[in-house]
Amino acid sequence: MTSNKTPFYITTAIAYANGAPHLGHAYEAIITDVMARFKRLDGFDTYFLTGMDEHGQKVAQTAEKNGVSPQEFCDDIAQKFIDQTETFNISNDQFIRTTDKDHHKSSQAIWQKLEDNGDIYLDKYAGWYSVRDEAFYDEKEITKDEETGVKLSPHGTEVEWVEEESYFFKLSAYEEKLLTLYKENPEFIAPQSKHNEITSFVKGGLRDLSISRTTFDWGVKVPNDPKHVMYVWLDALTNYITALGYPDTESEKFKKFWPANYHVVGKDIIRFHCVYWPAFLMAANIELPKQVFAHGFINVDGQKMSKSIGNVIAPSELVSRYGMDQTRYLLMRTISHGEDGNYNHEQSIVRINADLSNGLGNLVQRTLSMIVKNCDATIPERNDLTDEDQKLLNQAYTAIDTIRPLFEKFQFNRGLEEIWRLVSAANTYVDEQAPWALKKTDTVRMGVVLSVLAETIRCLGILVQPVMPDSASKILDQLKTPKDQREFEHLNVEYALKYGITIDPPQGVFPRLVEEEKAA
């Protein structure tokens, strides 16, 4: 059934296996999930990849500190990330782990391609390395903490001087090609500010990149020289094609889904995705992804999340405070596309109560309970529609046209604002039409009003699915909307709620956070 749909491939960054997931990881997974769900509902054959980056010095060091083998350590952390995908109802098609055998094979194959292309040579590396970032930095990027004398990367992480034999990738040879790529495909890096940042970084000159290490062995072995392991980023980035069967570029999955439509990543790792990754792919003669989308960071009460400040939030904490869909909504509604966001408990309660409990929840609750009480729990006919009825229905059917271009650009906050325009219009309509008053004067007209509202709610239920999949299905289940009629193509009169169907007594979808509100 899906074979004639346009393929769509989206990935998150794969998280380092050096600690439990935090809110930043959940945020990225949710952004990507919302886009994947949106595309599926819009008729695309979607493949969504997420996973775990398990190699490198940092993982090896953390495992050692914990007194376990790196593999055992990774197994434990991977399970926590897999659990997180369940906690947040993330609809990934695959969870890749870079310790998977096929991933080693794929990473070695891409290495071999770079080597065959004449882009790899052996030399000695002497320079600054941050184990925290698993990244090399130029002298000019390094600053010194005046108090401690510690040398720092531009991300504020500690760097150390490293000198060792290393293979190099001729990144400098790709400077012009990369600049041409950015110029000819301005959409390759989004948002625009990141496009500018990367362009000026590359214009500043690229040095060849050290791509192997010899001082530890937790990684993918370099082909024909096993005392070297690959630089963790070379192996990590390759996960995006391993998942599709690389090096078998003729496999069905590879042919169907590569090049990726979106790599969704945090703003701290765009250099790897927008400079190194396309250069590796060019060298290996593989098509380039269409876009790297960089999201911002989540801060807590205006401060960066950090273990030392003690404000790191476990994603499950928010779910137990507000509910899963409520947390998803909150993050997607309050953080602007590509910008940093802030989490604050009091503001979150106000937002959830206003938009979900009072806004959408109340609309569903009062409409459905009036239908149950006054119309025998049966959807009434929608005859003799007035201009007001028609206006609301038109808004419900056409909302997707405004929302689509926003969602397609990860502007979920603006897309949700549009959906809530419809919620407000429906709430205003109930107040103006006052079906409770019509009950005494004109029961036929009351039925029409309730039926128009129920049909609007059906559309709202369909529209909120990418962001709040569980709540949306509760709403659509109560309306008895068939499971195979919940896609965006069903947002029209042809699939409208049938007269005479019996609905279930409404069950509160978004309970008001009263206790939480008092505590706040």
Which residues of the chain form contacts with ligand MSP (CB under 6 A)? 13-16, 24-25, 27-28, 53, 236-237, 239, 265-266, 268-269, 297-298, 305
Q: How far is the CB of 378 from ligand MSP (least distance, A)?
A: 48
Q: Which is nearer to ligand MSP, 28 or 119 (CB)?
A: 28
Instruction: Retrieve residue 280's tokens.
Output: 């590796």
Q: Which is nearer to ligand MSP, 163 or 340 (CB)?
A: 340
Q: How far is the CB of 58 from ligand MSP (least distance, A)?
A: 9
Beta-carbon count within 10 A of 302 CB: 8
Q: Which is nearer to ligand MSP, 108 or 362 (CB)?
A: 108
Q: How far is the CB of 383 from ligand MSP (least distance, A)?
A: 51
Token pair 């000026």 is at which residue? 200
Q: Which is nearer to ligand MSP, 81 or 495 (CB)?
A: 81
Contacts of 444 (CB under 8 A, 6+ apart): none
Q: Which is nearer to ligand MSP, 299 or 353 (CB)?
A: 299
Tell me which residue of 413, 231, 419, 237 sits closest to 334, measured CA to CA: 413
Q: Which is nearer to ligand MSP, 101 or 307 (CB)?
A: 307
Q: Which stretches within 434-483 are classed as H helix?
A: 435-441, 443-463, 469-478
For 195, phi then psi, to 5°, come to: -60, -45
Token pair 């060298």 is at which residue? 283
Dihedral angle computed from the Cα positions of residues 369, 372, 378 and 384, in that order, rounded to the nearest 10 degrees: -50
Contact 322, 280 (CB under 8 A): no
Instruction: Retrieve residue 365's tokens.
Output: 């609750």
Instruction: Retrieve residue 51's tokens.
Output: 């996973």
Q: How far is the CB of 129 from ligand MSP (least distance, A)?
A: 15
Q: Which is nearer to ligand MSP, 166 or 239 (CB)?
A: 239
Q: How far is the CB of 273 from ligand MSP (least distance, A)?
A: 7
Q: Which is nearer to ligand MSP, 39 or 55 (CB)?
A: 55
Q: How far is the CB of 74 from ligand MSP (least distance, A)?
A: 12
Residue of closest CB approach to ligand MSP = 266
**Helix H or strand E segment including 230:** strand 229-230
Tell me which residue of 366, 361, 511, 387 sits closest to 453, measured CA to CA: 366
Q: How far is the CB of 237 from ligand MSP (least distance, A)?
A: 5
**Beta-ladder partners of 264:** 12, 293
**Helix H or strand E segment including 143:** strand 143-144
Q: How far is the CB of 424 from ligand MSP (least distance, A)?
A: 30
Q: Which is nearer to ligand MSP, 241 or 462 (CB)?
A: 241
Contacts of 320 (CB under 8 A, 6+ apart): none
Q: How far is the CB of 171 from ligand MSP (least distance, A)?
A: 17
Q: Which is nearer to ligand MSP, 47 or 488 (CB)?
A: 47
**Helix H or strand E segment including 1:** none
Is 49 in a helix, a strand, or coil? strand
Return d(Cα 219, Cα 260) in angstroms, integer: 25
Return d(Cα 372, Cα 352) in angstroms, integer: 26
**Helix H or strand E segment including 160:** strand 160-169
Q: How far is the CB of 25 from ligand MSP (least distance, A)?
A: 5
Contacts of 409 (CB under 8 A, 6+ apart): 190, 337
Q: How far is the CB of 263 from ligand MSP (least distance, A)?
A: 8
Q: How far is the CB of 53 from ligand MSP (least distance, A)?
A: 4
Q: Which is nearer to ligand MSP, 14 or 467 (CB)?
A: 14
Q: Which is nearer to ligand MSP, 335 or 479 (CB)?
A: 335
DSSP for residue 251: S
Return d(Cα 9, Cα 136) in angstroms, integer: 30
Tell me which residue of 302, 266, 299 sits closest to 194, measured CA to CA: 266
